Amino acid sequence: MEPEPTDILYGEIKLHQPPEGRGPRVSVDTVLLARFARVRARARVMDLGCAHGAVGLIMARRTPEAVFEGIDINPSLVELALRNARLNGLEERVSFSVSDLRAHRRNFTAESYDAVVTNPPYDEPGTSRPSPDAAMATAMHGGQCALADVIACAKYLLRNRGKLFLVMRAKRLGELFCLLNRHNVKPKRMRAVHPKPGRVASVVLVEASRASGDGLVVEPPLFIYGADGNYTEELLDAYRLEEPGRCRL
């Protein structure tokens, strides 16, 4: 019997996901990325490595006039993403397809998107032990693409001054910024995510802009747990459909 869809954002989004250990599932990083990303009304947005579509679907629910597309190299995950778009009544504004982002020049038109969002593999091949599950290995260990491939694809897809939003392991921040600057996609906004006060950052959320000027805003850190051991209010806000005081560009 097929498992029931998972409730995300207190039931605002429902998602079919791979079983535990058989593919990428929604994580805190997924939800934080979808909250961190800011897109304009009527924007055209691409989700690179969309998996089951969570990021694009959450963002589409928050930005009703924007149009979202997602690609993934795994046909099974794309099928889940398409089912999830239908399940949430978003199939008219959110679409998914099977594609290898390394073939972006063959499959897409240059400078055709206002924003790109991505949760790329956190590790490169050979730097960590990959999961025995092929879908997990692709999603987490870069078996099908490197971080450099993701940045090159994003640069190609984005219009001038278009925005790239991504989440990455904090320890790879130097490498990430080097790649962004090399491709003239300048880092503009960053927020470090820490497990709790007094602990080093685990991941960073980064906004970059194609062919724009220098200048980086470092936002206050976000803590998952407070000193009392409970989830922080900022973390809980990321799971709500609307953020109090949020202004849409």
Q: What are the beta bridge partners of residue 206? A: 166, 190
245 part of a folded domain: no
Contact criterion met (CB below 8 Å) for 214 and 181:
no
Number of neighbouring beta carbons within 10 Å of residue 124: 16
1 part of a folded domain: no
244 part of a folded domain: no
Give the pLDDT score at 243.
56
Domain containing residue 202: CATH number:
3.40.50.150
Inform me whether the pLDDT recorded for 244 exceeds 70: no
99 part of a folded domain: yes
Provide mean pLDDT across the span 211-225.
96
Provide mean pLDDT across the span 22-34.
94
247 part of a folded domain: no
Residue with the bigger pLDDT between 133 and 24: it is: 24
pLDDT tens for 81-99 read 999 999 999 999 999 999 9
Inform me whether the pLDDT recorded for 245 exceeds 50: no
228 part of a folded domain: yes
Inform me whether the pLDDT recorded for 247 exceeds 60: no
Query: How many structural domains are present in the chain?
Result: 1
Residues 6+ apart with CB under 8 A from 64: 93
With cut-offs at 50, 70 and 90, classify the pLDDT of residue 2: low
With cut-offs at 50, 70 and 90, classify the pLDDT of residue 199: very high
- What residue has token string 């459909």? 241
pLDDT tens for 95-153 read 999 999 999 999 999 999 999 999 999 987 665 555 554 554 455 545 678 999 999 99
100 part of a folded domain: yes
Q: Which domain holds residue 37?
A: 6-238
User: Amino acid identity of 133?
Assistant: D
Provide mean pLDDT across the span 179-200.
98
221 part of a folded domain: yes
Provide mean pLDDT across the span 63-77.
96
Residues 6+ apart with CB under 8 A from 188: 163, 207, 208, 209, 212, 215, 216, 217
pLDDT tens for 158-171 read 999 999 999 999 99
pLDDT tens for 39-60 read 999 999 999 999 999 999 999 9
pTM of the complete model? 0.90
Give the pLDDT score at 248.
37
